[in-house]
């Protein structure tokens, strides 16, 4: 497998992706403004959503200190 890196402006992306789909070529699009791995970003967004929904656990400082001393 080979990799081709295409630097294209937003107005050309629709045509390029349509062409690649027509050729049945696997591709991914990354935003140069975002240097983070998309999987990592998705995990962070999921975590933020869980927090907003109240789906999280808190640990008191006293309990944390006890845990660290036992190690």
pLDDT at res. 28: 85
pLDDT at res. 21: 96
Answer yes or no: are the C-beta atoms of 38 and 44 closer than 8 Å: no
Non-local CB neighbours of 42 within 8 Å, separated by 6+ positions: none
Q: How far apart are CA 49 and CA 68, in angstroms?
A: 29
What residue segments make up the domains of the chain, in order of their start?
Answer: 10-70
Q: Which residue has the tokens 């295409």?
A: 6
What's this model's pTM, rounded to 2 decimal places? 0.43
Q: How far apart are CA 69 and CA 71, in angstroms?
A: 5
pLDDT along the chain (71 residues), means of 10: 85 93 90 78 95 90 81 64
């Amino acid at each position: 497998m080979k990799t081709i890196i295409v630097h294209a402006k937003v107005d050309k992306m629709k045509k390029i992706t349509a062409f690649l789909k027509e050729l049945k070529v696997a591709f991914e699009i990354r935003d140069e403004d975002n240097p983070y791995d998309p999987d990592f970003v998705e995990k962070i967004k999921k975590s933020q959503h869980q927090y907003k929904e109240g789906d999280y656990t808190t640990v008191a400082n006293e309990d944390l200190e006890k845990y660290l001393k036992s190690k």
